[in-house]
Structure 1
């Protein structure tokens, strides 16, 4: 970034610090904050720097907030940040222990606030406690925080700035009361996780607050992956219900605006393109893989490459996230693996520059069958033998992961996981499931999108992989269609039942076949025990299998009763 133009006369320059943090690492997060303050000072000549919600702890810190030693680390780092900001104003998200906090270790800290700490010229001059504490979906803030009750307006060099935090802006009252208290511009600190269509919702809500209050809003959002959540950044400035400045999606950035005492705003710098559709989802998935692997200290990844569409997409995502040199693909053929699958897998690795190994599962599979033969004598082969193949592959891949310090990526999609078309300790074995929340039809759409945006001579995913009929190749002439309805239909049912909580009656009224709906919804409920044992995966929908869908394993619920 080149040095910015001087601040306009009478204005205050505010920097928007769209940063990536690591949950729990308060010291490293404070280092990033201090580095960003220095950049804002030197490169932008900024007077104010605004950081996202809970920047200091990362989001969500979960039960780390129950630890006194963790909160003490946060307090110490706020002091470091204040010293570094000796000539500037900084507004940063952090937990704040209220006076008189006497809770015992392990107790929910009823006197803890999700706060915005206001530092000016080295001193803490104000704080704001988040007023709307979300307790739905992936959010669990009422477990940890006490609700704020008052608006906060701070004046910096003659400019009255109101402060809100994330969920506050989705309600009318916090912004309206900030404006009533004299704010001319509203700053909102956010840790708003990504899901599809979230961007349009944010813009609509923030524009509504601008119309209600008459105040421009500066929206600063966290960026980066944290377990199954991805924060997409896309910080922006809304003025007169129009977005006048956009920071990039899924990457760190430092933007800036000049703000006048009467609330006028002059935007500076580039207004970035925001991806939509398949490009947006693909960007979220690569960001999630990159941060999960790196933040957990792995040196690269390993995955089983079957020659099918799911593993082909995961391989491409992994290469785009981490580089081909950090990816190892392993073919693991059996007697049922078609030559086409082996050829397509090798072609993809060659085109993408990925190292490939081949380990036949036949010797291990035969030994397992031999060991079990006395007990299985007289019984026909069934899904048991199919699962043995998948579990053999899981054992081999986990051994490679352990030996070489590589994260094992699983390659199952949401459609399969929903109905249990996956094997525990087999193809479900691994450390991270990048497409766990990606329905099968979206898998195809992402593969086609990526092929149209190839960076080399060849498309990354062989065309035949996309066009061929899907098969697990665990028995002769096996097809997914032998066990499942067409994926177009399956995905409609899963979306309706899992993401939209529709009843069987709702789905039948919408034109879906009742017998198929009853069968699929029963499979979804029966396979909760599998999903509970699955590795985490990247959330891209409103309702993923993970933090925001908490169904009991043992349950008598019958949606068709």
Structure 2
């Protein structure tokens, strides 16, 4: 009977659809783990395919290619090195599962199918049957995937069918408070089953999600066996020993996880870095302005990509554009960021002459700025990035021409707190709200709180007004603008949403409607 087992967790940063690149990353992790003495290497859910897959998970050619990548990785294990437990979409006839495959001895020896699906996975993947453990070197390992850990159902079945150790493969995106939620669920499963647990996650940004890694292990008494770092790739070895019928872990890695604003900043930076790199680019182009949001987004880009890979864009014209002050140029020079200043006056005048009316309407040059930004980015093969807070996006602000917005999930107050750690950024004013946003609101109105209560918590105007301590008419004014801005929000560039409503898969409001409840002078909720 096996008395010890060396398990390595590998936090990888796969790119959706890059099967060759993801396979090579898995191979590199296996080599690194083998050098540390690992017998089993555990990767995250969807480690070969990337996540989230959405409709790609139902494409037959893609699924065939995933099976081919799994077979290739399994073939590597014929060399006598460590086995690999990895996640991949798996097709069985017309059914498609999120699966964990155990590769050893040159082949896939076991496939475990995910049982419990998240709301985003329903309709994409099929549910697997309640499983029993898989055997590896005389050890009965109970494998869970993602939401299988959310309730006692799967872990209980594994324990009752003889599992000695639980191993969870996840693709768990980050948001504030997420690690506490994970640990609470993990401790609950360990307590119920009286089995130790190894939990492995992906890391990296993908569209509107950021995976933070932060893989960990728990002993059967719920104590922390090891903790890997957050927002960083890595391979960490843990050594498990059997005492009687119970397994325990020796002293493992104990990384200190970033918290609060530090974690929020790291998540934004990682999301930005990976969007640019996974889009096939190396450089970002950002419109610069003398306000906290635009400048903070530029500072994030410098941290993510390096100043040499960031360019600033300032558009000037006869009517004036927000980003045209000398302060932005001075800041860029101090950070080593090259700046291109474009004068739009002649272009604006030419369009106005050709159209017979103002080319930009009411002095708003955003459409022309967007066109210039897109041309400049394409000319230099750069990814156009913007910085617009969630507060302004919810009220209908636009970021035309941009392909990514690292501030998409942050309310204006959160941006101000994050920027406040930089003495230069802390002195900058917040950008003004759009001219058609709610007007006449008192300075004391907690706009972020009102928007969060209306849009994310789904509360009625009267309830929000009471909790915020403001007049119902003020809340109705905000609610009316929130409803009217839905069409604009759908055009917004992607960016990390941190579990908040507004992502591509979230419930949406109608673009065209005649509901006037929010506009009435009396509350009808």
Match of 1:495 among 443, 452, 461: 452
SS of alignment partner, residue 225 of structure 2: strand
Question: In 2 relative to 1, CA 212–469 (structure 1 residues): closer, same or farther, beyond 3 Å?
Answer: closer
Q: Contact 2:170–2:202 at 8 Å: present in 1 too?
A: yes
Query: Whole-Å Cα distance in 2 between the matches of residues 36 and 339 of structure 1?
Result: 47
Question: In 2 relative to 1, CA 256–484 (structure 1 residues): closer, same or farther, beyond 3 Å?
Answer: farther
Q: Contact 2:269–2:303 at 8 Å: present in 1 too?
A: yes
The corresponding residue for 1:131 is 115
Describe the superposition over 1:5-29 as per-residue Cα deviations: whole angstroms up to 9, x where unpaired.
Answer: xxxx931001111101011122221
Query: Whole-Å Cα distance in 2 between the matches of residues 41 and 129 of structure 1?
Result: 27
TM superposition shift of 1:276:
1.1
Structure 2 unpaired stretches of 5+: 519-523
The corresponding residue for 1:256 is 237
Bigger mean CA deviation after superposition, 537-546 or 313-322:
537-546
Matched, 1:192 2:150: no
TM-score (ref. length: structure 1):
0.86
Query: Whole-Å Cα distance in 1 between the matches of residues 503 and 56 of structure 2?
Result: 23
SS of alignment partner, residue 85 of structure 2: strand
Matched, 1:90 2:90: no
The corresponding residue for 1:548 is 506
Structure 1 unpaired stretches of 5+: 1-8, 104-110, 452-458
TM superposition shift of 1:263:
3.6
Describe the superposition over 1:37-92 as per-residue Cα deviations: whole angstroms up to 9, x where unpaired.
Answer: 111112x1111111111111111112222222111111111111111122332211
Q: Kindly report the root-mean-square deviation, in angstroms, between the aligned alpha carbons of the 2 structures.
A: 2.5
SS of alignment partner, residue 509 of structure 2: coil
The corresponding residue for 1:464 is 427
SS of alignment partner, residue 348 of structure 1: helix
SS of alignment partner, residue 505 of structure 2: coil
Q: Contact 1:250–1:283 at 8 Å: present in 2 too?
A: yes
The corresponding residue for 2:497 is 539
Describe the superposition over 1:420-444 as per-residue Cα deviations: whole angstroms up to 9, x where unpaired.
Answer: 133xxxx332111111121111110
Give the count of matched residue pairs.
512
Bigger mean CA deviation after superposition, 528-537 or 264-273:
264-273
Matched, 1:214 2:194: yes
Q: Contact 1:256–1:267 at 8 Å: present in 2 too?
A: no
Matched, 1:293 2:285: no
Match of 1:30 among 23, 30, 46: 23
Query: Whole-Å Cα distance in 2 between the matches of residues 489 and 401 of structure 1?
Result: 37
Query: Whole-Å Cα distance in 2 between the matches of residues 348 and 546 of structure 1?
Result: 34
SS of alignment partner, residue 101 of structure 2: strand
Q: Contact 2:7–2:237 at 8 Å: present in 1 too?
A: yes
The corresponding residue for 2:145 is 165
SS of alignment partner, residue 23 of structure 1: coil
Question: In 2 relative to 1, CA 79–462 (structure 1 residues): closer, same or farther, beyond 3 Å?
Answer: closer
The corresponding residue for 1:233 is 213
SS of alignment partner, residue 135 of structure 2: strand
Q: Contact 1:412–1:428 at 8 Å: present in 2 too?
A: no
Q: Contact 1:531–1:545 at 8 Å: present in 2 too?
A: no
TM superposition shift of 1:356:
1.4
SS of alignment partner, residue 359 of structure 1: strand
Question: In 2 relative to 1, CA 65–385 (structure 1 residues): closer, same or farther, beyond 3 Å?
Answer: same
Alignment of 1:269-308 (within 5 A): 269-308=252-291
TM superposition shift of 1:290:
0.6
Question: In 2 relative to 1, CA 487–215 (structure 1 residues): closer, same or farther, beyond 3 Å?
Answer: farther
Match of 2:102 among 93, 106, 118: 118
Match of 1:448 among 415, 420, 424: 420
Q: Contact 1:130–1:147 at 8 Å: present in 2 too?
A: yes
SS of alignment partner, residue 264 of structure 1: strand
Describe the superposition over 1:156-193 as per-residue Cα deviations: whole angstroms up to 9, x where unpaired.
Answer: 22322111011010111111111111112110000011
TM superposition shift of 1:371:
4.4
Q: Contact 1:409–1:430 at 8 Å: present in 2 too?
A: yes
Q: Contact 2:438–2:478 at 8 Å: present in 1 too?
A: no
Query: Whole-Å Cα distance in 2 between the matches of residues 479 and 419 of structure 1?
Result: 9
SS of alignment partner, residue 201 of structure 1: helix
